[in-house]
Structure 1
Amino acid sequence: MTVKQPFERVVVVHGPTVLRVCRAVVGPVDADDAWSETFLAALRAYPDLPADANVEAWLVTIAHRKAIDVVRRAARHAVPVADVPDRVLPPQGRDLDLWAAIAALPTKQRQVVAYHHLGGLPYDDVAALVGGTAAAARRAGSDGVATLRRTYPTIDQEQS
């Protein structure tokens, strides 16, 4: 019989992976909010989670959904400012070219890049989340990274 870990241990073990996924979706500014919402939701659902469940994949799924909720919520709210600018200013603290390049990837490639390369999940777990086989997930991730390398300049390319 498999015994579940105490929830505090789950947070310690999987917290960094969940934070990477949140940062991949919402960026560093809002990642803490998405992380907190993920673990609050997980805490409520944890007693009903089967003891043999893949906790990391379960948490990554919750994190992805909570991060999307943060993005949607931010898009619906007005941001008060002292003075209305003459033109729209880009958000600060994010590399918008990289985020735009990731956003332009096809859905499956974007998800695999986020789950595997940013979230650190193995391809078997990624395949369970996005559907298909581990080989298909590996291929989608490879294609996504290849596209990012072509469309997003690295520091080495910028200096030459």
Structure 2
Amino acid sequence: MSVKEPFDRVVSVHGATVLRVCRAVVGPVDADDAWSETFLAALRAYPDLPADANVEAWLVTIAHRKAIDVVRRASRHALPVAEVPDRPVEVAGRDLDLWSAVAALPTKQRTVLAYHHLGGLPYDDVAALVGGTAAAARRAAADGVATLRRTYPAIDQEER
């Protein structure tokens, strides 16, 4: 019979992964809220988690749900601005920073990239979170990476 580690150790070990996932899904502004909500929910449910459970996958699943809650909550509120522009502002593709490039991806591609590349989940687990098959998740990730390479050329430089 295996024994679960203390919850504060779970936060120490997996906190950075959960924060990376939250940042990728909801952006840097709301990531801390999603992270906090993830660990509050996890703290409540931790006593019932089986000792042999994959804690990282469990936390990423909770983060996924909390991130969706943050996005939904934000979409219901208007954002005040000092001045309303006369027309949409266009940004040249080469001037985008990495976050803007990731944020511009379709939701499924952005989410799959976050769960697989930042959360470290295998495609089978990612597919269970976002729906579909592991092959579809793999395809969405490949499409997302290809788009990032086109819109954010520095990625190719960083990988070399």
Q: TM-score range by the shorter chain?
A: 0.7 to 0.9
The correspondence of residues 44-59 of structure 1 with structure 2, limited to 5 A, is: 44-59=44-59
Unaligned runs of 5+ in 1: none
Unaligned runs of 5+ in 2: 90-96
Q: In structure 1, give the amino acid aligned to 2:12.
A: V
Instruction: Spell out structure 1 runs of 4+ moving beyond 6 A.
Output: none
Given the superposition, is the C-alpha separation of residues 78 and 16 from structure 1 closer, same or farther in structure 2, using an over 3 Å criterion?
Answer: same
The correspondence of residues 11-160 of structure 1 with structure 2, limited to 5 A, is: 11-79=11-79, 84-87=82-85, 95-100=99-104, 102=105, 104=106, 107=108, 109-123=109-123, 125-130=125-130, 132-133=133-134, 137-150=137-150, 152-155=151-154
Q: In structure 2, give the amino acid aligned to 1:19.
A: L
Query: Structure 2 CA distance, aligned partners of 1:18 and 1:117?
Result: 12
1:118 CA drift (Å): 2.3
- RMSD, aligned CA: 2.9
Given the superposition, is the C-alpha separation of residues 117 and 94 from structure 1 closer, same or farther in structure 2, using an over 3 Å criterion?
Answer: closer
Q: CA-to-partner distance for each residue in 1:106-136, whole Å, 9 max, x for gaps?
A: x2x4332111112233445435544534x66
- State the partner residue of 2:93: none
Query: Structure 2 CA distance, aligned partners of 1:43 and 1:5?
Result: 13
TM-score normalised by L of structure 1 = 0.75
Given the superposition, is the C-alpha separation of residues 155 and 142 from structure 1 closer, same or farther in structure 2, using an over 3 Å criterion?
Answer: closer
Percent of matched pairs sharing the same residue: 75
Q: How many residues align?
A: 147
TM-score normalised by L of structure 2 = 0.75
Query: Structure 1 CA distance, aligned partners of 2:80 and 2:103?
Result: 25
User: Which deviates further from its counterpart, 19-28 or 139-148?
Assistant: 139-148
